[in-house]
Amino acid sequence: MIRALFALLLALLPLPALAKPAEIVTSPGGVTAWLVEDHANPMLAMAFAFRAGAATDPADKVGLATFVSGMLDEGAAERDSRAFQERLDALAVEMSFQASHDRFDGRFRTLSAHRAEAFALLGDALAKPRFDAEPLERMRAVFLSQLRQRQENPNARAADALFAAVFPGHPYARPAAGTEAGLTAVTADDLRAFVSTRFTRDNLIVGVVGDVTPAELGPLLDRAFGALPASAPLPPVPDARPRLAGGALAVPMPVPQASAVFAQAGPARDDAEWFPFQIAMYALGGGGFSSRLAEEVRVKRGLAYSVGAESAPLARAPLVVGGVGTQSARIGESIAIIRAEWERMRAEGPTDDEIAAAKSFLGGSVALALNSSAAIARTLVALQYHRLPPDELDRRAEVLAAIPPEAVRAAAKKWLTPEALTFAVAGEADKMKLKD
Q: Going by C-beta distance under 8 Å and a sequence separation of 6 or more, which residues neighbour residue 153? A: none
Specify whether the CB–CB gap between 71 and 191 falls below 8 A.
Answer: yes
Are 202 and 60 in the same domain? yes
Are 302 and 381 in the same domain? yes
Are 198 and 266 in the same domain? no
Please report whether residue 1 resides in a domain: no
Please report whether residue 436 resides in a domain: no
Are 256 and 355 in the same domain? yes
Please report whether residue 289 resides in a domain: yes
- CATH number of the domain where residue 167 is located: 3.30.830.10
Specify whether the CB–CB gap between 142 and 70 falls below 8 A.
Answer: yes
Specify whether the CB–CB gap between 285 and 293 falls below 8 A.
Answer: yes
What residues make up the domain containing 331?
A: 248-427
Are 191 and 324 in the same domain? no
Please report whether residue 392 resides in a domain: yes
Does the pLDDT of residue 7 top 70, yes or no?
A: no
Closest among 231, 243, 232 to 166, alpha carbons compared = 243
Are 221 and 266 in the same domain? no
Query: How many separate domains does the chain show?
Result: 2
Q: What is the DSSP string of 172-233?
A: GGS-TT--HHHHHH--HHHHHHHHHHHS-GGGEEEEEEES--HHHHHHHHHHHHTTS-S--P
Please report whether residue 350 resides in a domain: yes
Are 220 and 263 in the same domain? no
Burial of 289 by CB count in 10 Å (0-12 exposed, 13-18 middle, 19+ buried)?
Answer: exposed
Does the pLDDT of residue 2 top 70, yes or no?
A: no
Kindly report the pTM of this predicted structure: 0.91
| Average pLDDT of the residues in 335-345 | 97
Q: How confident is the model at residue 305 (pLDDT cuts 50, 70, 90)?
A: confident
Bridge partners, residue 205, by sequence: 49
| Average pLDDT of the residues in 380-408 | 91
Helix, strand counts (H, E) of the chain: 16, 11
Q: How confident is the model at residue 12 (pLDDT cuts 50, 70, 90)?
A: very low
Are 97 and 180 in the same domain? yes
Q: What angle do CA 166, 259, 350 make, to 5 degrees?
A: 75
Which pLDDT belongs to residue 369? 62
Specify whether the CB–CB gap between 307 and 285 falls below 8 A.
Answer: yes
Please report whether residue 35 resides in a domain: yes
Are 213 and 261 in the same domain? no
Are 161 and 257 in the same domain? no
Percent of the chain with pLDDT over 90: 84
Q: Which of 12-21, 107-116, 339-348 has the lowest mean pLDDT?
A: 12-21
Are 314 and 216 in the same domain? no
Are 302 and 193 in the same domain? no
Please report whether residue 18 resides in a domain: no
Q: Which of 10-19, 143-152, 395-404 has the lowest mean pLDDT?
A: 10-19
Q: How confident is the model at residue 20 (pLDDT cuts 50, 70, 90)?
A: low
